[in-house]
Amino acid sequence: MRRQVTACRRWVIKLGSSLVTNDGRGVDASAIEGFAAQMAGLRSAGIELVLVSSGAIAEGMKRLGWRERPHEIHHLQAAAAVGQMGLAQAYEAGFQSHGLKTAQILLTHEDVADRRRYLNARATLSTLLGLGVVPIINENDTVVTEEIKLGDNDTLAALVTNLMEADLLVILTDQLGLYDQDPRKSSDARLIDEAPASDSALTRMAGGAGSLLGTGGMLTKVRAAQRAARSGAHTIVASGHEHDVLARLARGEVLGTLLLADQPVLSARQQWLADHLQARGKLWLDEGATEVLAKGGKSLLPVGVVAVEGDFERGDMVSCISPDGHEIARGLVNYSVHEARRIRGLPSTQIEAVLGFLEEPELIHRDNLVLISSAEKR
């Protein structure tokens, strides 16, 4: 199946901090130049590239003379602000030596959650790719707070993959790929060459207690692959220390772990809905509503809701929770939390009598609802 990689013409590449910094002590300019050279080769082969890179905070710490990573949010923001200058300079110099222009894009969750900003970001990135520019994306750590934080650059890379409808997400790390067991504890540990992204066993292996995958951040990579699969993108997790790794992957060489997109592809609007990371509330459903939503193509009516949690207004994103506690869907709600609590469990014909008005007969219309896959629930 590696031949599928050779057919991919739009890649999102994520580089981890360990690959682009000197053990966390600032940007490694020579390493960045090496990756720029590899990506220049891909561009010459007609592959469009979007790069997601870590390293800004590490570079900022070096420039500020800090030996230990701070814990206070404002100090981290300050380090990111200083470090983004050095990171951008290193990438600009690395790509410029190969005749390529770069652009810096900084995103927060609000840029993804707001439909207009989401479409604007996609239009800007599409224009940059059309101009032959390599966009370099990072989370906007200079202003980010917990409420708008995307969480990690693996997640960010997956969201960008969906945003740009890329064919392939390549996550380069300091590990060879995903293992079926912790190789430090078992001589039988096997590197997984290929697996469906939706395979729930991957999530269990990556998040198991004491597993190398969990401590090495592999759980976020598995979940990133599951997110990227929504737009039909395959994911490769491989070592960035492998010589000429990107060119070898482009030739179809078996390196790392290939996680195949094996689920139905969501529409662009469904991808946008699914990529909201932060729901403002929860709607707990009864068995009937759970079964109806699971079949797909149906709206959520208030009669199927047994409890309402959170603090949300009309138009906010909320999660739909099954009786066993799993999120089965999410969508944009038509009523505020206070209104939803008053009409929960009631047929739609009673909404106007209870509230004094009728916005919509549904709590969430099917056009504003997306199902969450079984793999993500685990």
Per residue in 140-149, pLDDT (tens digit) is 765 555 543 4
**pLDDT confidence of residue 114:** 78
Q: Which tokens hold the place of 313?
A: 């207004």
The rounded Cα 150 to chain-centroid distance in angstroms is 8
Pairing of strands 281-285, 369-371: unpaired
CATH architecture assignment, domain 279-377: Roll (2.30)
**pLDDT confidence of residue 167:** 93
The yes-or-no verdict on residue 24 having pLDDT over 90 is: no
**pLDDT confidence of residue 161:** 93
Q: What dotted CATH number matches 3-270?
A: 3.40.1160.10
Can you give the pTM of this predicted structure?
Answer: 0.81
Query: Start-end ranges of CATH 3.40.1160.10 in the chain?
Result: 3-270
The yes-or-no verdict on residue 324 having pLDDT over 80 is: yes
Please, which pLDDT band fits residue 152 given cuts at 50, 70 and 90?
confident
Residue with more model confidence, 75 or 268 = 75
In the chain, the DSSP E strands lie at 10-15, 48-53, 102-107, 134-139, 168-173, 194-196, 234-239, 257-260, 281-285, 305-310, 317-321, 327-332, 369-371
Please, which pLDDT band fits residue 247 given cuts at 50, 70 and 90?
very high
Compute the distance between CA of residue 364 and CA of residue 360 in angstroms, rounded to an integer.
Answer: 9
Q: What is the mean pLDDT of the chain?
A: 86
**pLDDT confidence of residue 97:** 94
Share in percent of the chain as helix, strand, coil (round to 5): 45, 20, 40
Its sign, for the CA torsion 117, 272, 316, 353, is positive
- With contact defined as beta carbons under 8 Å apart, do 324 and 285 qualify? no
- The pLDDT tens digits of the residues spanning 279-315 come to 889 999 999 999 999 887 799 999 999 999 999 999 8
Q: Which tokens hold the place of 368?
A: 């504003």
- The pLDDT tens digits of the residues spanning 153-199 come to 898 899 999 999 999 999 999 889 988 877 667 778 889 999 998 88
Compute the distance between CA of residue 363 and CA of residue 340 in angstroms, rounded to an integer.
Answer: 8
Please, which pLDDT band fits residue 211 given cuts at 50, 70 and 90?
very low
The yes-or-no verdict on residue 376 having pLDDT over 80 is: no
Query: Start-end ranges of CATH 2.30.130.10 in the chain?
Result: 279-377
Bridge partner list, 331 = 318, 369
Among 163, 126, 119, CA closest to 48? 126
Residue with more model confidence, 74 or 277 = 74
Please, which pLDDT band fits residue 207 given cuts at 50, 70 and 90?
low
Residue with more model confidence, 140 or 105 = 105
